[in-house]
Amino acid sequence: MGTGNLIIIGGAEDKTGECLILKSFVEISGASKANIVIITTATEKSIEAGSQYKSLFIGLGAGNVSFLNINTREEAESDQNAMLIAEATGIFFTGGDQLRITSILGGTKIYETLHQAWKSGAVIAGTSAGASAMSRTMIVDGNDNDPARKCTLKMAPGLGLLDRALIDQHFHQRGRIGRLLCGVAENPSILGIGIDEDTAVRVFPDDHFEVIGSNSVMVVDGKSILSSNVSELMPDENLAIANVVLHVLPAGYGYDMVNRKVLRVEEKQWK
């Protein structure tokens, strides 16, 4: 367990209005004293994405903001790049392709430094693909707006910052409940967390999270599952699950991932 926080964003977060989620990230990172590094590995439009978020974070009061375009494993072994991560108070992963994040960064100096920074108290945030990559096992691909079918779900190792859960993003907007249910059926010991657009969870060091943003988060708890046919499915067969528990949580709610309990959260500033 790290001593830092995670901010896991479902994608398409507000960038023109109150910017509540991005503002929360800047404030938790230290506001005017923040040293934020944006990692654009997930996207092939790295200059565009990095510049956009840099402008946003500076506009929201961040003291120092830079972005790292790491496109190769060689660049991920750079001492200079690792030093930027080590000195950051906030680290932000853009959207794109989550498999680029893990395949380029996994096992490198940047990967090790990222974990050390988090354990030392840095805030790590990710949106869309950057959100999916946070967990130890991540969803790489699966059909949207489809019934749950085992053969349509593709998973891979993630960054390993979140142990207890499987993350999915753009959740209700892209109809992804089927694929999240399938992921939980395959491993009922982990929680499925589906995060809507313009919505995020802030995960605290004690492994509870609180919801930020304008939409909702769905928690799929598979511990109570009595039976499923996930290990028996042939291609294109529908999934059957008995006794799965679902929670839908907007802002003002949170969730204790250790004791698997819904929490009510007091209205407060995100400091």
The per-residue DSSP string of 74-91 comes to: TGGG-HHHHHHHHT-SEE
The per-residue DSSP string of 201-243 comes to: EEE-TTSEEEEEESSEEEEEE-TT--EE-TTTPPTTPPP-EES
Catalytic residue among 27, 46, 170, 208: 170
Judged by phi (left if over 0) then psi (alpha if -120 to 50, else beta), residue 261 lies in beta
d(CA 132, CA 97): 9
Catalytic residue among 24, 197, 208, 210: 197
Is the Cβ–Cβ distance between 63 and 31 less than 8 Å? Answer: yes
Catalytic residue among 24, 29, 46, 128: 128
Q: Is residue 197 flagged as an active site residue?
A: yes
d(CA 5, CA 111): 17
Cα separation values, 145 from 33, 173, 240, Å: 43, 9, 17
**Structural tokens at position 56:** 């946003």
Would you call 161 helix, strand, or coil by DSSP? Answer: coil
Beta bridge partners of 154: 141
Q: Catalytic residue positions?
A: 128, 170, 197
